[in-house]
Amino acid sequence: MKRAIILFLLIISIPITLQAQSPHQPKRLLLELNVPADEFIETLDRDYPRVTILETFETLFDGIAIEGQMHQLDRIVEDEAVKQAYPITTYSVTPEKVQFIEQGKIPSRPKNADQHTYTGKGVKIGVIDTGIDYTHPDLEANYQGGYDLVDFDDDPMETTSTQGIPTIHGTHVAGIIAANGTVQGVAPDAELYGYRALGPGGFGTSVQVIAAIEKAVNDGMDIINLSLGNRVNGPDYPTSLAVNQAIKHGVSVVIANGNSGPNEWTVGSPATATDAISVGASTQKYQTPILIEPKQNKQIQIKQISNTKDWTLNRDYSVEYHGLGIDALPDLTGKIVLFKRGEISFAEKITNAIQANAEAVIIFNNSPDPIEAGVEGSETLDIPAVFISQDDGEWLMEQIERSNQLWLKTKYETRENHIANFSSRGPVTANWEIKPDIVAPGVDIMSTIPNGYASLQGTSMAAPYVTGALAVLKEAHPNWTPAQLKAALLTQANRIDDQTPTEQGMGEVNLSKSIHTSVLITNSMINFGLIDERVNRQTEHVTITNVSDAPIKVRFSRPPIKKGVRWTLPKSTTLNPNEAKTLPIQLSIRPDQLKTGIYQDYLTVEIDRKDYHLPYLFINQTAEFPHIAGFEVEQSYKDEQIYHIRLQLANTTESLMIELYDPVTYAYLGELLYAENLEAGLFETTIDLSDEKQLDQYLLNVTITTDNETTYYQHTIH
């Protein structure tokens, strides 16, 4: 399984180089097997007695981790019982010089954390991530153990700078869940277990994540948090299937929905898992400064650089551009200085501006990729400093170069609670399910990192908020199943106005209401699927359970009349205490009377004199979804000329063709695969390039024909 797992956090990307190992030094492999692990171990014990078995996996997948000499491992991976082999790699680092975040101002609790008497006490939470800095004073009391699926030992510490590209992500996630110190997590008395599945720089493989899920299940976790994933939008990706299996074993699983928004169809695996709680990111109501160039009325979004003064400027200021900020600066009294990111740290640029008496600092990105900007140290630099995008920075620079003069003013806007722009949206391809299930705060979230604190953003920060809420809910209702706990959170979520189901699911988490809920609605996300000329009537079922000690009345409200759509809803009913009823919701469609595409909204049901809003979705005949919702190519460990290809097909495919080209000359090298009449879902194949012209890289051209429409996809392999 390809190194395709990413952290759903907007962070700095740093290049890595692999460090060669001595041929006599023992090496480690993670093997995915075609046979039960115990059966293969018997073969190893007989034929390779000097090979060490590090770990065995047999709950969610068949696999083992082994250590031995290279010549032994090379023979082992040729065995027919080995489906795939994944090297456990040693890294060295060539870092870009970027000063990263350590925050000075720290709130006592996460934003909008509910006040209640429950703290998650006794609930076991497995954090599958980059590791946890269990020596952090805010985490050490709650940390109980874990496992390292990168090094295969009992020490899931974050990667340090001496081991490769250092990581902070898992520690930040763990703090949101259960920090208990300067920062207070949502569940400050929960038990934390770290499962390090992502190594230096936050990289890892799908099989490492699946192995970590299995370890967490076998270790008796109540809840697993996965603030990671890939961009494969499909319900049957291996990590998604593993998550569903973990839930069948009685474990709740919370997953970040992804940071590929704001477009539809951007949710990735494993957040596509049907039974998981997939979490999008919301923002809270706040006031934000916006820069305006008055001549062209150009508006520029800014991001505060941590450990600098708040931007509170209230008049127009002249702006001067001074490159990377390396050279000596003139006196900048009463002016804003504009710098480009690079060469020296943010702290050095800002310090140089302070020495030049600048009024404020703007630094623009040197790449299109978003980052979180900050400076080290516990002291706040005595100047406002903000970070802007590469496009906006280059636009400002051009204005200055063109006219030799630029003025900016600041206006302040109040932003209402809404879904973060970066938060991935559904629906899921192939089964058309609504994702995310719920949203939680994911912007400017303060939490722990190794040796300090930081404010980060991403669905990686929203998921642990829900995980902490789930732990509190589990303490309050210890006998509830994962399905009941999920239903409680979703039933009582606050719907955000003007946001669609595929943006927010049931809405924003409301922990206090979930703890005290009198009703549970399961199957609350009503998916009618794809409607075509042959299928125009669908029935889905919603189960409503009365968990109070008094009867409650249930009454559905009929949606506004719409041409081509007819609802058949349940009659009003009464539920006695602890009674559950499964109610049919029928939708009849006249496809020819509606435009093609996605239709989604909320169906209102009144329960005990309160309105609950159930998301529904159907697709009329077709929609503008990607025909390939995931494309991965992985070089075989057994043979460097063999590549494993995994395609996520969004719908039934009439034909699929893979052709090979020279990416430099675009010379046609041949057809590798042709297949017809493929069902929607995960399509896997293997290609062998040993008979092809040997090049440093190749271009794969994939041609998909669906409903007489042809689409092309390209992928370069090295």
584-629 confidence digits (pLDDT tens): 999 999 998 999 899 999 999 999 999 999 999 999 987 777 777 7
Phi then psi dihedrals of residue 114, to 5 deg: -70, 140
Q: Is 448 helix (H, G, I), strand (E, B) or coil?
A: strand
pLDDT at 104: 33
Which of 566, 595, 620 delimits the end of a domain? 620
Residue 309 sits in a domain whose CATH number is 3.50.30.30
Distance CA 84, CA 1 (A): 8
Residue 170: pLDDT over 50:
yes
State whether 318 and 447 are in the same domain: no
Give the model confidence (pLDDT) of 373-418 as tens digits. 666 654 678 999 999 999 999 999 999 988 888 999 999 988 777 8
Q: Are residues 338 and 297 in the same domain?
A: yes
Report how far residue 568's alpha carbon sits from residue 586's, in angstroms, rounded to the nearest whole number. Answer: 5
Whether residues 259 and 313 fall in one domain: no
Is there a domain that residue 109 lies in?
no
The CATH number of the domain holding residue 48 is 3.30.70.1650
Examine the domain organization and report whether 539 and 649 are in the same domain. no
In a domain, 11, yes or no: no
Specify the higher pLDDT residue, 635 or 45: 45
- CATH number for the domain spanning 713: value is 2.60.40.4070
- For residues 169 and 239, membership in a common domain is answered with yes
pLDDT tens digit sequence for 691-701: 887 888 888 88
Give the lowest-confidence range in 288-302, 497-511, 659-673.
659-673
- Residues 527 and 609 reside in one and the same domain: yes
Of 620, 648, 681, the residue that ends a domain is 620
HSE-CB of 651 using CA atoms within 13 angstroms: 17
| CATH code of the domain covering residue 444 | 3.40.50.200
pLDDT of residue 671: 87
* pLDDT value for 106: 41
- 4 phi-psi bin (left φ>0, alpha ψ -120 to 50, beta other): alpha
What is the per-residue DSSP string for 17-64?
A: EEPP--TTS-EEEEEEESS-HHHHHHHHHHH-TTSEEEEEE-SSS-EE
Do 134 and 273 fall within a single domain?
yes
113 domain residue, yes or no: no
Express each pLDDT in 638-668 by its tens digit.
677 888 888 888 778 889 999 888 887 778 8
Q: Give residue 52's domain range.
A: 20-89
Contact status, residue 53 vs residue 87, Cβ threshold 8 Å:
no
Indicate whether 334 belongs to any domain. yes
Report yes or no: 68 and 48 within 8 Å, Cβ to Cβ: yes
pLDDT of residue 14: 29
**How far is residue 717 CA from its own chain's centroid?**
25
Residue 389, H or E segment: none
Phi-psi region of 383 (alpha: psi -120 to 50; beta: other; left: phi over 0): beta
Token pair, residue 646, equals 């995994």
Both tokens of 614, joined, read 């159930």
Asked if the structure places residue 116 within a domain, the reply is: no
What number is the average pLDDT over the span 123-132? 98
Query: Same domain for 146 and 263?
Result: yes
Q: What is the pLDDT of residues 57-114, one digit of tens each?
A: 999 889 998 988 888 888 898 899 998 887 664 332 222 222 333 333 344 354 445 5
Q: Do residues 292 and 280 share a domain? A: no
Residue 13 domain-assigned (yes or no): no
Whether residue 512 lies inside any domain: the answer is no
Q: Does 252 lie in the same domain as 335?
A: no
Point out the residues that are catalytic: 129, 169, 460
**Is 187 within 8 Å of 178 (Cβ atoms)?**
yes
**Number of separate domains in the chain:** 5
Specify whether 156 is located in the same domain as 241: yes
Residues 637, 640, 642, 643, CA torsion sign: positive
What three-state secondary structure class fits 207?
A: helix
Residue 507 predicted with pLDDT over 90: yes
- CB half-sphere exposure, 587, CA atoms < 13 A: 26
Q: Comparing 670 with 492, which gets the higher pLDDT?
A: 492
Do 477 and 548 belong together in one domain? no
pLDDT at 5 over 70: no
pLDDT digits (tens, 9 = 90+) for 176-234: 999 999 999 999 999 999 999 999 989 888 889 999 999 999 999 999 999 998 888 88
Decide: helix, strand or coil at residue 131. coil
Q: 192 in a domain, yes or no? A: yes
Please say which residue of 89, 112, 138 terminates a domain.
Answer: 89
Nearby residues of 687 by Cβ (< 8 Å), 6 or more positions away: 642, 643, 645, 658, 672, 673
